[in-house]
Amino acid sequence: MAQTTGFTIWLTGMSGTGKSTMAAYIAARLRQVDRNVEILDENELGEALWAGLGDTKEDRMTVVRRLGYVAGLLTRNNVAVLVPCVSPYKAGREDNRRTIGRYIEVYVDCPTEKLIERDTTGRYKKALGGEIPNFIGITEPYEPPASAEVVLHSDQETVEEGAGKIFQSLLDLGYVTSEELKIITGKKMKAQPPTKTQVVVAKPGKAAPAPAAAKSAKAAAKSDAGKGAKARPAARAARVAKPAAKKSAAPKRKAR
């Protein structure tokens, strides 16, 4: 039976964190090594896949489920699929993980006040003013992943730095080869074995969660999971920036 070479990279995070920018960057580099690539961007597929749906939790779950179904079909037919999608609820993302199988979750994080500052659409300010109801991260909750394979901080990391973490995870899971990554990145990358804390034995009747690609990413995801679990009211929508963000050097280029 022919080996499956497809996989899905699911990029989740609040609106404006840079998911689509990262997806386009990764896709272009995978095409350099002749990979079949498709981007399923929720902002571009609305009319085709969920015209008429609203902003309720059930409607958003339907959007994620439909994107996951298409991603699964493409994955099993040897396509590298990138899905930039807010997908705010853990349950929907985990359903897709189980259904697709060859799956990497990338959490693209950014402090809310930074998203408001660099928002060119004005949607965050309108949401804060009550003009847009059910806005994720302002009046509706975003549920951060607890065990994403990769965690990116787009207010601190450049696109290139974030992509490097994703490529490392792809290599660790055996979805790409070191030879491919040498062409893509220009350097030899080695797969990193999982740490003891990353080796999880499944309980009877339950699937084992996928290991994180790096210990630091898993720790960051757990830290972030404690934030934003509830809807942020307009008066306190902006989160306090992480101390590390203040100390870090000015980034070369931020994802938008």
Report which of 47, 46, 104 is spatially closest to residue 71, judged by C-alpha positions: 104
**Tokens 């902003």 map to which residue?**
55
User: Would you state the structure tokens that stand for residue 55, as one six-digit string?
Assistant: 């902003």
Beta-bridge partner residues of 82: 9, 39
- Sign, Cα dihedral of 94, 100, 163, 120: negative
Could you give the count of Cα atoms lying within 13 Å of 102 in the half-sphere of its Cβ?
Answer: 25
Which positions ≥6 away from 2 have C-beta within 8 Å?
A: none
* Sheet of 80-84, strands arranged across: 37-39, 80-84, 7-12, 103-109, 150-153
* Residues marked as catalytic: 87
Report which of 104, 108, 82, 78 is spatially closest to residue 93, judged by C-alpha positions: 104
- For residues 12 and 87, is the Cβ–Cβ distance under 8 A? yes
> What letter would DSSP give residue 252?
S
